Chains A and B, each alone.
Chain A
Amino acid sequence: MSNYIIETKDLWMQFGSKVALKNLNLCIEAGGIHSIVGSNGAGKSTLFKLLLGVNTPSHGETYILGQNSQKLRPQDRGYIGFVNEEHTLPEWMQVTTLITMEKSFYPKWNDSIYKQVIGNFNVENNQKINQLSRGERAGVNLASALAKRPKVLILDEPTLGLDVVAKQAFLESLLFTEKNEDCTIIYCSHQMDEIERVTDQLIIMEQGELVSASTPESFCEKIHYWVVDYLDKVPESHLIPGFLQQRNIEGEIHYMVIDQDSSLKELFIKLGAQSAFHSEVSLHQAVNGFLSRNHHKPNAEEKTETSHV
């Protein structure tokens, strides 16, 4: 029996010749909001399906609530909430009928949580699900998922396609629950502003592999932003230690590097820089820079042609 609420061991997932997850070893402790980010095809949704047991791994094991995902009993599933980006609900039902049905499955159903969360959305009880807007649907989905009082709630891009107001209501509901309920939330999104606001732990996945797991603050501390003005030729990127990304903006080279201290300025000067300034990065910039390190490594010729951003 594992102490982690979610754990994967040597996890591989292959679809034909395509590898979706590659030797993933991930441990998530109970409590808090854990955000999983990564570019498209990083394997996030595949991971969730494996955690829920609806897919079987090519190799390795997944555990959720200490149970092997492949051997989850119905009573274990009662403690797992799942909200996907489509906000799947039986759209032919009225909200009130749906909630009555859901209540019947969950003895620990908490009506006050449901009312509290649904209060943030403008939903009438007698409305049919297919008459609800995307935001309202997301509200019903989240409210019912939280009212079940799950021990772990998996949210797979839940705010995709929501307007600002709905997104705000959704996040507030999430934060309210996290504070008041003993629930671990696994949150997957491409919206860095949302993640910055709610997350306790940031997990970054890339091409099926786990590449970083830390708090957002410590992750941001590792990423540095330098604006360098070269007198002459821009040096090749492999000469910059911890290089992640570079951009040419109005003649100045903007670097993003990882795990470097202020001594990097001396190196820039050595490489022919006229000036080099260090600045802080937002989580959005840090993650973006981090994820683009494999995609954006221009050579010396390309650098001069890089379009201004």
Chain B
Amino acid sequence: MFKLFTCEWLRIYKTIVIATLVHFLILGLLINFGFFNSDSIGFKMSLVLFYSGCGFLLGITQIKKYTKPNQWAYYINRPISPKTIYLALFLAAMTAIVMVIVIPFFIVTLLLDSLNKEIIDLRHYHQLFYILGVTLSFYLLACYTTLSQTTSSFLLIMVILLPIISINMGGSVYWLLFGVISVLFIMVNSIIKVLLNGQPNGVLNRLITTIAYQYSLYFIITALFFMLSEVVLDISYKKRDQSQEQTFNSNRYRDIIFFNKQDTLITGLYTENNQHQDLIEEIKLGQTDRIRKRIWFQPTQQQLPFMDENKTIINDSDNQVAWQFSHDLMLFVGKNTNSRKVIGYLGPDKSFLDVDDINNNQVFASVPWVSWVSKNQIVVKNKIYQYQYSQQSFRLLFSASDDEFLLNILQSQGSIKTIISNKNIYVFDSIDYDNDIIPLQEQLVIPLSDDYNNLWDVQVTEVIDRFIISFLYGKSTRHDIYNAEQLVYEFTLSGDLILLNKRKLEHSPSMLIKDLGYLLSPVWKLALDYFPLHPSRDRYLEQRPQVKKLPQSTITTLILLAIFYASFSYILSKNRNLTTSRKLIWVALNTITGLPGILSFILLNPKKNTLELKKFHTEKQNGAQNV
């Protein structure tokens, strides 16, 4: 095998040297223009996709070269197994990826670390494994598509995109990536044989390939159905009469989410007898503001840099200091913006000159989230701190209970300020803040009546001597456990809270296709709903124990569809070159895996080609003279 590895290495070494130099050049330019360690998630994604493209290109060019009929016959016809031949090629490719992509990236990271140009944490080095993993997974996909010689294998891109789009995975993304690479390697290994027909050998290999195909198909089908329903909705929305009266009467969630903030609030006050008409007129005269959720995923320690929603950096131009958060130290590290020298460290309570003087109680317990709106406020789980430019230290603005996590920094709505958490909205008097009465003491706590994930929007308006606040729920369709409803309260800063109106809203048709997942594939729907995510990032964790109870009509449809899926699979299997036991396994499997099961069956089991053979056997039976 080593000789074959050397043979392949001899073929590609010149390209590797050139590509390495080009990569160094690109990285140099990125550092020079300040893009390396950029806080733009789009840029970071582009970089990952660029490396993915390189991996894919390597796989295609390498394997295409060897799978030309004469080349394949030349390499395969020797006393070593095809799997060993592929392993040599795989190792050569992996070495190439390490040489071209990982090593330059590592050297540049190390250089930035040692020259103190940036705050480099362990996670920046972890990133190397991530890049290697993503590039390798694309390389393996290219190998699979080339070796299987079927266009349908491109569907598997859904599998390898998973570790890239799963920024909500936190540290679990490494395991996911490892899993994806393992699955792809097994799949490639199962079709590497003398006969390149894309058919995996062995029961386990066939099962893994089938699972990968079905996963991809399930996602594509549900995405297509969802997009289709959105198109239908848009068409129906445009056709609706847009008159003012009808708009305010609307009880369709889908309509209301497109209203402006004031109209949304007014719609929440609609009753049949127009009992809030005077209040509506008052609201029209005032200014309506939104209370927004901003933190989608709680940051986790040592999360991959590309998972950062924004860069944890506070620029103190008054003192010419940039405070950047270090995941290694769990402190902000201050650097002089001119000399780039470290001038100190900042914990939640005080600043330090030397890192050795700090004990574990003086560092941040969680990774802070820095707002891009107000660069001096940071959210650390259930606490908000404010950076004091004069003292170069943090002060605690507000602290919610330990079982809560905040969803944004302090927001301003006229004479009040608010903080939203996963459980409550805290209301403060702006005068307290203006008079520097810190930490802030809430005047009122408004509990969220439904899960915060289901909360689309909150609008608040100040009217004469009180405030009107409206909650619009119905955002999440997951598990079908959320309502779509609108609740409007009035409150005062003295602590009074009165529910003015509560309206049940109609689920839009896209909500009606909530059972579609079960109808398409009950097994896949359940498997993906209960796929474990990183606990700190699983926004649906609280809802998981609630298993959805399907309505009787859906259960009946499911049974009918299962019979259809089974019968259709049986009919299809007649035209396939399969043993009876394999046919029966497919039929049984497709009964519960549904449409993705049937499609994967069609894609993985080509039709028999018996036209001429049949003719021949008929002739033979008729006693015709043959050769």
Contact = CB atoms under 8 A, between A and B. Distances in A.
A22 B6 contact: no
B508 to A, nearest CB: 48
B616 A22 contact: yes
Interface residues of B, number: 30
Given A22-B627, A88-B74, A93-B10, A12 B613 contact: yes
A170 interface: no
Contact of B194 (A14, A59, A72, A75): A72
Contacts of A52: 73, 76-77, 194
A77 B612 CA distance: 32
Contacts of B612: 12, 14, 17, 19, 22
Contacts of B6: 101
B627 A23 contact: yes
Interface in B74-121: 74, 76-81
A23 B612 CA distance: 11
B195 interface: yes
Contacts of B10: 90, 92-93, 97
Interface stretch (A78-86, A131-139, A189-197, A300-308): A78-86
Contacts of A24: 627
B3 A104 contact: yes
A53 B195 contact: yes
B161 interface: no
Given A53-B195, A56-B195, A101-B6, A84 B74 contact: yes
Interface string A129-168: 0000000000000000000000000000000000000000
A132 B78 CA distance: 23
A106 to B, nearest CB: 7
Interface in A1-32: 12, 14, 16-17, 19, 22-25
B91 to A, nearest CB: 16
Contacts of B197: 56
A187 to B, nearest CB: 17
B609 interface: yes
B78 A53 contact: no
B202 interface: no
Nearest to B14: A92
Nearest to A24: B627
B627 A82 contact: no
Nearest to B616: A23
B4 A101 contact: yes
Contacts of B579: none
A54 B73 contact: yes
B527 interface: no
Contacts of A55: 195
B69 interface: yes
Nearest to A150: B77
A25 B627 contact: yes
Interface in A23-54: 23-25, 49, 52-54
Contacts of A23: 616, 626-627
Contacts of B555: none
A84 B72 CA distance: 11
A84 B70 contact: yes
A206 to B, nearest CB: 10
Contacts of A25: 627
A49 B69 contact: yes
B71 interface: yes
A84 B73 contact: yes
A56 B193 CA distance: 12
A156 to B, nearest CB: 9
Contacts of A14: 609, 611-613
A80 B79 CA distance: 9
Contacts of B11: 90, 92
A54 B149 CA distance: 14
A215 interface: no
Contacts of A12: 612-613, 616
B73 A101 contact: no
B162 interface: no
Nearest to B79: A78
Contacts of B79: 74-75, 77-78, 105-106
Contacts of B69: 49, 54
Interface string B319-338: 00000000000000000000
A61 interface: no
Contacts of B122: none
Nearest to A103: B3
Contacts of B7: 90, 93, 97, 101
A89 interface: yes
- Most chain B beta carbons < 10 A, residue from A19, A52, A54: A54
A190 B73 CA distance: 22
- Most chain A beta carbons < 10 A, residue from B76, B78, B196, B610: B78
Contact of B3 (A88, A89, A105): A105
A77 B611 contact: no
A58 interface: yes
Interface string B1-17: 00110110011000000
Contacts of A90: 7, 10-11
A105 B81 CA distance: 11
B314 to A, nearest CB: 55
B71 A88 contact: yes
A229 interface: no
B627 A210 contact: yes
Interface in A194-225: 209-210
Nearest to A94: B10
A59 B610 CA distance: 9
Nearest to B13: A92
A54 B195 contact: yes
Interface in A80-121: 80-82, 84, 86, 88-90, 92-93, 97, 100-101, 104-106
When A and B form their complex, which 6 residue pairs have the shortest distance between CB atoms, in order from nearest?
A: A78-B79, A88-B74, A101-B3, A88-B70, A53-B194, A92-B11
Interface of A: 12, 14, 16-17, 19, 22-25, 49, 52-56, 58-59, 70, 72, 74-75, 77-78, 80-82, 84, 86, 88-90, 92-93, 97, 100-101, 104-106, 209-210
14 contacts: A12-B612, A14-B609, A17-B611, A17-B612, A23-B627, A70-B195, A72-B194, A75-B79, A78-B78, A78-B79, A84-B70, A88-B71, A92-B10, A209-B627
Given A23-B627, A52-B73, A100-B3, 20 more contacts: A12-B613, A12-B616, A14-B613, A22-B612, A22-B616, A23-B616, A23-B626, A24-B627, A49-B73, A52-B77, A54-B72, A58-B609, A59-B613, A74-B79, A82-B77, A93-B7, A93-B10, A101-B7, A105-B79, A209-B627
Interface of B: 3-4, 6-7, 10-11, 69-74, 76-81, 194-197, 609-613, 616, 626-627
